[in-house]
Amino acid sequence: MRPQQTLTVLGIETSCDETAAAVVRRAPDGAVEVLSSIVASQIAAHAPFGGVVPEIAARAHVEIIDSVIAEAMKAADAGFADLSGVAATAGPGLVGGVMVGLSAGKAIALARGLPLVAVNHLEGHAVSARLGAQIAYPFLLLLVSGGHCQLLEVAGVGRCRRLGTTIDDAAGEAFDKIAKAMGLPYPGGPALERLAEGGDGSRFVLPRSLLGRDGCDFSFSGLKTAAARLAEGVIDPIDRRDLAAAVQSAIARQLSERTARAMTTYVARHGVGDRRLVVAGGVAANGEVRRALTALAEKNGFSFNAPPLAYCTDNAAMIALAGAERLAEGLSDGLDAVARPRWPLDEAAAVDRPTHVAGRKGAKA
C-alpha cells in the first residue's frame, strides 16, 4: 500500500456491547472524513443484569452484524469495490464478540481481495481524537474507559510506551460500580454525571488515593468502597446529588493529578515542543473530566484534544481510522489473525510491570 494514497476503510467493532461499523476516508495529508458510523447498542439487553453478559453480547453481535455493516456501507454511499481495506477489532475484549466482528471482516476481505487489518481496540481509542482534529505525533494519551485507565506516550501507529496504569479498577468501572451502588441504571457513568449536575462536590469527603505518590499509576478501589458505603445511608435527593458530584470530582481530580505527573516525564523525554495531551475512551465524554484536563493542559502549556462525543465511547470509526493509519504505513494482517481477549498496547510494559489486577476481569481487561 503506497502511503500517498487516499484510503477508504470499512471498520468493524464488536469487542463489548456495541455492534458497530463505519466507513472512514483518510487523505495522504492525514485529513479524515467519517463517511458513516453506525453503532447498535445492546444496552437494553444487558441493563436487567447491571452489566455486560458475555453470552448475550456474542449472540446479539451475530444477529445484527451483517445488517449493521450493510447500513454503514449504504450510509457512506459506498460499495465494497470502493474500499481500500477492512479493519476489524481483534481484541482486547469479550472474545465471543470479537470473533464475530473479526470473522465478518475476514469474510469481506477474502471475498473482495482486500487487505485486512486486525486492530487493537485500544489503538482505536488512541487515534479517536484524530477523527475530529489533525493531531501530530507524539502525544501524551490518557485512555480512560470501562476496562482501561492508562497514561501512554504515543509516538506513532502502534508505537506506545506506558507511563502508568490502574492497579485495581478502571475509572469507568469505578463510575459504573458506584452508580450501581447508588441504584442508578447501567451504564453508570453518564447516569452519575446527570445526577451530579448542579451538586456540591465538597460536602462528602472521599479518599484521595495515591495523591502525591510517585509514579503515574491510578487506584480507584478505595474510592469505590467508601462511596458505596456512603451511598447506603444517603436517600435524600439533594444528598444523592452531592454524593454523585463528590464522586465525579474525586475521579476527575485523580485523573488530572496523575496526568500532571505523566506530563513531567513526557516533557523530559520529548521536550516542550511536543506538548500535546489527548484524552480518549468512554470517560472522556464526562464534562468534569474534560474541564479538569483542559485546565491542567492550559497550566502546563499543552494543547488539549478530546474526541467528538460520539467517538468517546466504543465505535467503529476509530477502528477504521486505526486500520487506515496502519495501511498507510504498509501494515496489514493475514486471514489467520486471531481474536485476543487480552492485548496490551505496550506489550513490553505489561510484561515488565504487570498490574496486580487487570481492572474489569474478563470483559474488557
Tell me: cis bond preceding 307? Omega within 30 of 0 counts.
Answer: no
Q: Does 314 bind ligand KG4 (CB under 6 A)?
A: yes
**Residue 220 zone, left/alpha/beta (φ > 0; ψ -120 to 50; rest):** alpha
Tell the smallest beta-carbon distance from residue 47 to ligand KG4 (Å).
Answer: 13
Residue 193 or residue 274: which is nearer to ligand KG4 going by CB?
193
Q: Concatenated DSSP letters for 113-125?
A: T--EEEEEHHHHH
Tell the smallest beta-carbon distance from residue 123 to ligand KG4 (Å).
Answer: 12
For 161, half-sphere exposure in the C-beta direction (CA atoms, 13 angstrom radius) is 12
Q: Does 145 bind Zn ion (CB under 5 A)?
A: yes
Task: Choose, by CB under 5 A, the member of 314, 325, 333, 346 that binds Zn ion.
Answer: 314
For 212, half-sphere exposure in the C-beta direction (CA atoms, 13 angstrom radius) is 2
Q: Which SS3 state, helix, strand or coil, does residue 51 take? A: coil
Per-residue x/- mask for ligand KG4, residues 146 to 185, rule CB under 6 A?
xx------------------------x--xx---------
Instruction: Please report which residue ranges of 197-285 form alpha helices under DSSP H.
Output: 221-233, 237-270
| For the chain, the helix, strand and coil percentages under 3-state DSSP, each to the nearest 5 | 45, 20, 35
Q: Does 190 bind ligand KG4 (CB under 6 A)?
A: yes
Tell the smallest beta-carbon distance from residue 124 to ligand KG4 (Å).
Answer: 9
Tell the smallest beta-carbon distance from residue 19 to ligand KG4 (Å).
Answer: 13
Report the C-alpha gap between 350 and 280 in whole angstroms: 20
Q: Does 193 bind ligand KG4 (CB under 6 A)?
A: yes
Task: Choose, by CB under 6 A, the member of 11, 164, 187, 323 that binds ligand KG4.
Answer: 187
Region binding ligand KG4 by CB under 6 A among candidate stretches 69-77, 189-197, 202-210, 235-243? 189-197
How many amino acids of this chain bind ligand KG4 (CB under 6 A)?
A: 20
**Residue 156 zone, left/alpha/beta (φ > 0; ψ -120 to 50; rest):** left
Which residues bind to ligand KG4, rule: CB under 6 A?
16, 145-147, 172, 175-176, 187-190, 193, 281-283, 285-286, 313-314, 364
Binding site for Zn ion (CB under 5 A): 145, 314
